[in-house]
Structure 1
Amino acid sequence: MGDQIMHKVVVITGASSGAGRATTFELAAHGAALVLASRNEAVLQELAAECREIGSEVLVVQTDVTDHSAMRRLAERAFEWKGRIDVWVNNAGVLAAGTFEEMPWEAHQKVINTNLLGYMSGAYAVLPYFKRQGAGTLINNISIGGYVAVPFGGAYTASKFALRGFFESLKGELTDWPDIHVVDLFPAFLDTPGIQHAGNYTGKVLKPSPPVYDPKIVAHSVRDAILRPASTRYPGGASLLFKIGHSLAPEWMTKITGLLMKGYFRIAGPAEKTDGNLFRSVDFSMSTNGNSRPRLTPHTKRILRIGLLTAGVVGLGIYLLSGRNARTSS
């Protein structure tokens, strides 16, 4: 496995913390030549030093993914460094939580610019190099938010739904390039510092919704996508179950998630409102894990499966009943 990744040139955006940091360590252990990008250069340099100790070559390029010129420079520097780009991992993202019309409009814009346009900018920057080489793998860490809406995270949800559509469109364009692969990852909630870095306009302490997975599941999926570039992957079993549940009973899923969020806010502790890392990088909790609880336990897995199966059965029943009523009325 390591021999197939060794010396591959891999660009990772949002590498300084969370899933990006976990992916960096995973690929460094396999000898990849890493190009690390984020807004926080000091943290990237520390991360690069750790990877070099492992034995990986590393290039650090300070990059704001909302700056398209910076993204093009990132691709240029990566290509100039080794004469090729084998893999590009779109990972940088932000979250802003709050009632839609009460949040600053600029916060919504920043989420869209980072999560959606940042990924599109990455694809735009790297595809000319992939086509010049005739090969390459573009990996997008989208999240299950691409299928299941997050109430009080409207811009986040919009960006993730749009990413899924955009990359499906791009895959259609690339059918004449069999060695250029686009791989979309849809993990469930991750134990990363992202929730601590979020723009929080709720006035309440934010916590990720269970089940919560270790970000290493994304790192392992990136590794596997490099080795076997399937079009979509669902790191952690819960994300695929969420997708199926939403497909069978979308209205129920939306109502349930809304009720859960509102119920949480009623009991959550108070917190000061903050822009978090939306408009500038932060210097705290720049780690792989955010130490959130609970993790996904066997008991939680059973409850999740039962709940989603129930939602699916109800949704299927409603679908069949509505079809029967429609035929009867006609």
Structure 2
Amino acid sequence: MAITLNRLRDQVIVVTGATSGNGLAIVEAAVRRGAAVVATARNAAALEALRDRLTADGGRLALCVADVSDMAAVERVAAVAVEAFGGFDTWVNNAGIGTYGTLEQVPIADHRRVFDVNYFGVLHGSLVAARHLRGRGGAIVTIGSILSDRAIVEQGPYCATKHAVQALTDTLRMELEKEGAGISVTLIKPGAIDTPFPEHARNFMDQPPRLPPPLYAPSVVADAVLFACETPRRTIYVGGGGLVASLLSRAAPRLSDRILELVGTAAQQAPADPGDPTRRDNLYAPRVDALRGSQAVGARQSSTALQAQKLNPVILLLGVVGAGIAVALSRPKDVSR
């Protein structure tokens, strides 16, 4: 079955992690463009406020309070979509949590919790979505990260989940393509985005966390996601800074290691700007949600790299090949005898 995706205004889109950061931006942008949305998150009060605000302007929105680490809860989300709108066309796996600290500092239970949400939450959503979309077509769009390609110090559990999500997404794509299910599977890889993530993450460092620049606004991620809802793509990077970091990691992994060993911790700490204390630590329970982080940062409102990929995905391949050639040519020749 060929993959055919409906126009956005004719779609019903499920969005997990819908009350904060990228998820909130995706919901708002989708509703503005005429899509119906099933918004799901743990924060019931934030979901209700979101519905009141968007439906007041004529938006079509249904809600489901759910923790994506619970398969039964994710199945309820699909049931809500069927009851409210007759089904859905796209499922967006966006919900995510994190920690800051070394692998030894983070308790094993917290490692598992990050995997329960970031990996198993994506697995649950992908299986439920594939079951619903198989034979009728649609899209599964998952929010990964540039940390799907490149690990960073102080975020080991989060990086591990994003590497696992990369493998899960690739496997899902192959299996659905092999059976001719007619489902597009896209992995979005944002760089640093100005969301409440550093405030929401559980922190074991001796300083408040932050996201390293360059940062982009959540609306840029929403742009990439909504493009993938209508246009089959394998991978979309959000932000030129993240794309460069990924290419450097592939072309010169040891150089990337050394750079992150030297500056990775300091780049993720903000001693003078801890952010909003009411947002801290949503690892096991929701906290105050918001679209943007409360720390004083600058965020770019657009991404040239994203727009280039939307025009021609071959740009990614050329970038990878070009970086590899440049590094190969720069290496000294082996003159040993």
> What range is the shorter-chain TM-score in?
0.7 to 0.9
Within the candidate set 260, 282, 288, 2:287 is matched to 282
Structure 1 residue identity aligned to 2:154:
F
Distance 2:230 2:260 in 1: 35
Within the candidate set 328, 331, 336, 1:316 is matched to 328
Within the candidate set 23, 27, 35, 1:24 is matched to 27
Do residues 127 (structure 1) and 126 (structure 2) align? no
Distance 2:267 2:88 in 1: 44
Give the SS at the match of 1:100: coil
What is residue 113 of structure 2 aligned with on the other side?
A: 110
Within the candidate set 40, 52, 55, 1:37 is matched to 40
Query: Contact 2:218–2:291 (CA<8 Å) still a contact in 1?
Result: yes
Distance 2:101 2:284 in 1: 16
Within the candidate set 292, 295, 299, 1:295 is matched to 299
Give the SS at the match of 1:12: strand
Shift of 1:84: 2.0
Q: For 1:231-279, what per-residue CA distance to the aligned partner results, in whole angstroms no more than 9, with x for missing partners?
A: 111122222222211110112112212211234478835979x970001
Within the candidate set 209, 212, 218, 1:209 is matched to 212
Give the CA RMSD over aligned residues.
2.9
What is residue 51 of structure 2 aligned with on the other side?
A: 48
What is residue 74 of structure 2 aligned with on the other side?
A: 71
Structure 2 length as normaliser, TM-score? 0.84
Query: Contact 2:13–2:35 (CA<8 Å) still a contact in 1?
Result: yes
What is residue 171 of structure 2 aligned with on the other side?
A: 169
Distance 1:4 1:58 in 2: 18
Unaligned runs of 5+ in 1: 302-307
Aligned residues: 311
Task: Give the 5 Å matches for 1:132-281.
Answer: 133-175=135-177, 176-177=179-180, 179-264=182-267, 268=271, 276-281=281-286
Shift of 1:315: 4.1
Distance 2:100 2:73 in 1: 27
Distance 1:266 1:40 in 2: 27
Shift of 1:53: 2.3
Structure 1 length as normaliser, TM-score? 0.86
Shift of 1:203: 2.0
Query: Contact 1:204–1:265 (CA<8 Å) still a contact in 2?
Result: no
Give the SS at the match of 1:186: strand
Structure 2 residue identity aligned to 1:43:
A
Give the SS at the match of 2:62: strand
Query: Contact 1:249–1:316 (CA<8 Å) still a contact in 2?
Result: no
Do residues 96 (structure 1) and 99 (structure 2) align? yes
Distance 2:301 2:233 in 1: 28
Distance 2:41 2:145 in 1: 19
Shift of 1:166: 1.1
What is residue 16 of structure 2 aligned with on the other side?
A: 13
Query: Contact 2:55–2:61 (CA<8 Å) still a contact in 1?
Result: yes
Structure 2 residue identity aligned to 1:276:
D
Do residues 84 (structure 1) and 87 (structure 2) align? yes
Query: Contact 1:63–1:71 (CA<8 Å) still a contact in 2?
Result: yes
Distance 2:330 2:82 in 1: 53
Shift of 1:120: 0.7
Distance 1:136 1:287 in 2: 29
Distance 2:131 2:301 in 1: 44
Of all paired residues, the percent bearing the same amino acid is: 28
Give the SS at the match of 2:167: helix
Structure 2 residue identity aligned to 1:278:
L
Unaligned runs of 5+ in 2: 1-5, 306-319
Q: For 1:103-143, what per-residue CA distance to the aligned partner results, in whole angstroms no more than 9, with x for missing partners?
A: 22111111111111110110011111111x42010000111
Shift of 1:220: 0.5
Distance 1:55 1:265 in 2: 40
